[in-house]
Amino acid sequence: MNVNFGSHIVSPAASTQHFIPFTGGSREVSIVIKAIELIRQRACSNDLCNIYFKVLDNKRTFEEIYIDENVWINYRTQPFRGNEPPWQGQTALDGKIVSGGKEYDIAIHSSSFFLRKSLPEPKQVEEIAAIIVHEMAHVAGAPNLGPQAEQALIHCGFLAQYDSTISG
């Protein structure tokens, strides 16, 4: 996974959804970098997590997606408009084909950071990490309806963040 600081051109669908780069050095970036490290510690060599991902539609282990340079974590600050349901994380799956496979764009909305700003930082990091793991399950093929993406949290070390009411 890579964090987009401006070198990455997002896919057309991701662009329509206002996915943008993070600003280097921001508080949000500091949390995202720590979240990526926490995910590595809890999930990359976690057999239950790797097996769970491998049975999703794209048949890739968690670690394969984690180390995939073509999976990008983007940002969004644009408020939700009209009929758009508010989201914390979003994945656009229409990325272009590149030499190493296919590009995938994930975004974390600025409200996800804002809502948590009064929590202790380790808690903020853990919750943002859980959002990323959920989106990684969509990259792995979890459908946009149903429990599969959220259930990744159970298997990948983020049980405390699991929300059984989430579908999609």
CB of 76 to Zn ion, least distance (A): 15
- Helical H runs in 22-106? 27-39, 47-54, 62-66
Q: Which stretch binds Zn ion (CB under 5 A): 52-60, 62-70, 110-118, 144-152?
A: 144-152
Site residues for Zn ion, 76-105, by CB under 5 A, read none
Helix (H) or strand (E) holding 108: strand 104-109
Q: Which residue is nearest to Zn ion (CB)?
A: 149
CB of 78 to Zn ion, least distance (A): 19
| 149 near Zn ion (CB under 5 A) | yes
- Helical H runs in 99-147? 110-114, 121-139
Q: Which stretch binds Zn ion (CB under 5 A): 31-39, 52-60, 75-83, 141-149?
A: 141-149
| 141 near Zn ion (CB under 5 A) | no
Helix (H) or strand (E) holding 13: helix 12-16
Q: How far apart are CA 17 and CA 39, in angstroms?
A: 25
Could you list the residues that contact Zn ion (CB under 5 A)?
149, 168
